[in-house]
Amino acid sequence: MRYDAGNYDVLVVGAGHAGCEAALAPARMGYSTLLLTISLDAVAMLACNPSIGGTGKGHLVREVDALGGQMGLTTDEVFIQSKMLNTAKGPAVHSLRAQADKTNYHQSMKKTIEDQENLDLIQAEVVDLLIEEDTVQGVIARSGAMYYGKTVILATGVYLKSKVFIGEVNYSAGPSGMFPAQFLSEKLLEYGVQLRRFKTGTPARVDGKTVDFNKMKREDGDTEIVPFSFMNEKLEIEQIPCWLSRTTEETKAVIEANLHRSAMYRGDIDSTGVRYCPSIEDKIVKFSEKPTHQFFLEPEGRNTCEMYVQGMSTSLPEEVQLRMYRTMIGLENVKMMRPGYAIEYDCIDPTQLNLSLEMKEIRNLFCAGQFNGSSGYEEAAAQGLMAGINAVLKIRGEDPFILDRAQAYIGVLIDDLVTKGTNEPYRMMTSRAEYRLVLRQDNADERLTEMAYQIGLASQERFQRYLRKKEQVENEMKRLESTVLPPDQINPFLRTMNSTEVKVGLSLKDAIKRPEITYASLNEIDTERPEKITWEVASQCEIRIKYQGYINKQLKHVEQFKKIEKKPLSPEIDYHAIKGLRLEAQEKLSNLKPISVGQASRITGVSPADIQVLLVYLEQQRRMK
């Protein structure tokens, strides 16, 4: 029996990391929002690795935070270990990663949602959409409740017709034993939405009381903790160690002897998995020359003995998994608390979306997260935030908020998905960003906070904090440039730093340009340094000075990129009528309807020659007008 259950501005289906950000953003912008989840126990669940951030992913979290999102704030509240990765390399690839307390993360995010004004949270399985004249009007729950909304955001994660595989055993289920969403897929197909089948997986959780840590290498967090959120200046907590160890040749033998029982190698799974997060079976097969592989043991929280065996994702039978783990160094007597598994699920072909994440063929319907073919909590949160913002802008009748590839990793993520599509679960990496030297995680607030404030998401407090930091950086840069120390004052210091002495005065800025000298090391001779300079300000100044030449060079490339991005393409263009375009280009351009020449140039199957033909066509049209 169907019944009217309420009217909202924004309806969000799914309360994973995409759904949480997608619901919080509209509510914080002042719009009534309803967040529907198949289980209240699954809100912001860290179903796989209990960590946030990592290479490339840390950039996304800091961008989400700079825009006024929640993931960074919650991580700072509940993390149990923090580490900056890639510090031996340049700042462009520095990426923050934190181990989170799995249960506390869920509880903290759920409480944030419950306390948020303009936001309701309910447990309900959405089984259908209300669509009239190619425009979504609301959703229908399994109970018969009909919720009406001006916009709808689908953030269903890995729940659509999800199926778990453990060796020869397989059954319908969501992650971590949750219920699957069995009915929505068929309805989406009826509405013309193209679905595909993807796969992900997770390793076992083991009992930390049964681990011999004496045989493993202890991995501690950083002494100086860098927060994820720009709203936090300093964090001090007691961190929990992780542990590094290796498999053995016996491990390899157990896996090879049972490959025929792995769900992947039995042929039970024909969907596409995450290339950059292979199962241990894949590692054994593809890197057969390697006798052993490393793995990490990561605690799932402060108040549990469960530990995550990173690097050992598997779909082997349960008893084989236990045998396999007990051949690994330090796990000889381990007890398994939850087996590893593979999970299949339905998602969409993201080329059906506009860059705003709105469906091209169904108005007011937005999509975000793993439902769009991505993998990872961070990629999901970034898409959820952008979908939430754009749902509000659609209601306002304003242009969508679109970040390009030179503005943010979020722009790279969404452009890759929508323009190029993906044949496997998409994972963000620093190598995907062409302009990564100017898209560093440390300057995300400089790039994005003012824009977020203008659209009404970033708070006044956040904006003022950003302005204060910006002013401090500018003032300190001026001081470093204008402060010149005479040779007799600076040469003794240069000798201690094994740096070439000078015959004329040297500014502090020019001193920092030298690779062997840092901002911090100048402390002993920089007597005029302001006392209240924070590590954030000091870091910004040092990066700008040391990498100024490289940054300026990349900014010139950004200018060239912007020129082609600013050449708009009308959705009304008949590409089949443009002489000189290859047939494949005509088909791809007609289907994807790019909004600019820049986007068109990144479509797979559109060649540089096709772009030249397109530019000639646009110039001809301009002259005719």
Q: Give the CATH number of the domain where residue 129 resides.
A: 3.50.50.60
d(CA 76, CA 169): 39
Whether the CB-CB separation of 373 and 200 falls below 8 Å is answered with no
CATH number at residue 279: 2.40.30.260
Average pLDDT in the 79-102 region?
Answer: 95
d(CA 408, CA 438): 9
The one-letter amino acid code at 262 reads S
| pLDDT (0 to 100) of residue 373 | 96
At residue 254, does pLDDT exceed 80? Answer: yes
Q: Is 52 within a domain? A: yes
Residues 333 and 417 in one domain: no
Quick: pLDDT tens for 478-499: 999 999 999 999 999 999 999 9
At residue 13, does pLDDT exceed 90? Answer: yes
User: How many domains does the structure of the chain reveal?
Assistant: 4
Quick: pLDDT tens for 98-131: 999 999 999 999 999 999 999 999 999 999 999 9
At residue 277, does pLDDT exceed 90? Answer: no
Q: Is 286 within a domain? A: yes
Cα–Cα nearest to 226, from 455, 42, 72, 346 = 72
Average pLDDT in the 22-31 region?
Answer: 98
Whether the CB-CB separation of 5 and 144 falls below 8 Å is answered with no
Q: Which 3 state secondary structure label does DSSP give 330?
A: coil
Q: Is 517 within a domain? A: yes
Residues 252 and 316 in one domain: yes
The one-letter amino acid code at 148 reads Y
| pLDDT (0 to 100) of residue 464 | 97
| pLDDT (0 to 100) of residue 28 | 98
β-bridge mates for residue 139, sequence order: 129, 147
Which helix H or strand E contains 485, and what residues bound it? strand 484-485
Residues 338 and 360 in one domain: no
| pLDDT (0 to 100) of residue 269 | 79
Among residues 344, 370, 401, the one where a domain terminates is 344
Task: Work out the pLDDT band at 273, boundaries 50, 70, 90.
Answer: confident
Task: Work out the pLDDT band at 613, boundaries 50, 70, 90.
Answer: very high
What percent of the chain is modeled with pLDDT above 90?
90
Residues 540 and 584 in one domain: no
Quick: pLDDT tens for 201-242: 999 999 999 999 999 999 999 999 999 999 998 898 999 999
CATH number at residue 591: 1.10.150.570
Residues 421 and 476 in one domain: no
Residues 96 and 245 in one domain: no
Among residues 555, 585, 607, the one where a domain terminates is 555
Average pLDDT in the 25-38 region?
Answer: 98
Task: Work out the pLDDT band at 412, boundaries 50, 70, 90.
Answer: very high
φ and ψ at 98, to 5 degrees?
Answer: -130, 135
Q: Is 488 within a domain? A: yes
Cα–Cα nearest to 237, from 100, 58, 341, 420 = 100
| pLDDT (0 to 100) of residue 624 | 87
Residues 168 and 148 in one domain: yes
Task: Work out the pLDDT band at 531, boundaries 50, 70, 90.
Answer: confident
- Residue numbers of the domain that contains 71: 3-196+349-454
Q: Is 296 within a domain? A: yes
Chain-wide mean pLDDT for the chain? 95
At residue 31, does pLDDT exceed 80? Answer: yes
Higher pLDDT residue, 137 or 523? 137
Residues 330 and 372 in one domain: no
Whether the CB-CB separation of 237 and 370 falls below 8 Å is answered with no
Residues 224 and 136 in one domain: no
Q: Is 378 within a domain? A: yes
| Residue-by-residue DSSP string for 448-470 | HHHHHHHTT-S-HHHHHHHHHHH
CATH number at residue 530: 1.10.10.1800
What percent of the chain is modeled with pLDDT above 70?
100
Quick: pLDDT tens for 330-387: 999 999 999 999 999 999 999 999 999 999 999 999 999 999 999 999 999 999 999 9
Residues 447 and 319 in one domain: no
Give the least confident one: 20-29, 269-278, 426-435, 553-562: 269-278
For the chain, what is the radius of gyration of the CA atoms? Answer: 26
Residues 188 and 211 in one domain: no
Among residues 304, 326, 344, the one where a domain terminates is 344
| pLDDT (0 to 100) of residue 272 | 74
| pLDDT (0 to 100) of residue 271 | 74
Q: Is 102 within a domain? A: yes
Mark out the alpha helices in 197-313 (DSSP H runs).
Answer: 249-257, 263-266, 280-286
Q: Is 464 within a domain? A: no
Residues 540 and 437 in one domain: no
Which helix H or strand E contains 85, and what residues bound it? strand 79-85
